Structure 1
Amino acid sequence: MVIHRYEPNGKRLSHVLRHNGIVYMTGQVPSDRTEDITGQTKQLLARIDHLLALAGSDKAKILFAQIWLKNIARDFAAMNAAWEDWIPETNLPARATVEANMAANEILIEIALQAAVEN
């Protein structure tokens, strides 16, 4: 059994790993937390592109995405607009979006996902 781990975070986790043709990505949060929901979402989507490439995948192969929003009533439409500009219309994944308390008050969004890898 081979598990490839990418971008470990100390002793706690790997930001992304690949096993048996699936990429598993931990919840990603924005590094610049001063931006609004659109800016934070675009940051995360760029980070996701980077991590998927490290693991040999891309956004067209996303199977499932989980999105947490600090304020779903306020931010859902703007987050969706950034997401729709980014995701290929012909490769829409399954997705769930919920409201949640965040680890830091300035974090407006977190995204975790699984994606396929061509073997």
Structure 2
Amino acid sequence: MKKAEIKLTVELDDNNVPETIMWESTDSQNKEAMQVKAMLLSLWDHNYQQALRIDLWTKEMPVDEMKVFFHQTLMTLGDTFLRATGEKNIVEDLRDYCAHFAEKMEIKA
């Protein structure tokens, strides 16, 4: 069985606010840690039937980039949901909402 490891490193200031977020993967072609400004991690806990989440962003994450990040995340969640469930109709509704979100946030999609 093949294994891969994903490592996240978060440097915090004195108030526990992220200053830097680094990630690396043993499966990545890039063997060096990459710095990012935000991350959303969701995991499914089967035993408790609930999502576990870690949402972090650095002090340096601009609001306009956060809007784009959320828009792209919503769009890719729709793609993932379609692959996982085959539920085309609800994914079309989500994509319609994403277009509305982009318009309201003035994102050029």
TM-score of the superposed pair, with normalisation by structure 2: 0.33
1 or 2, which has the higher strand percentage?
A: 1
Bigger Rg, which one: 2
1 or 2, which has the higher helix percentage?
A: 2
TM-score of the superposed pair, with normalisation by structure 1: 0.31
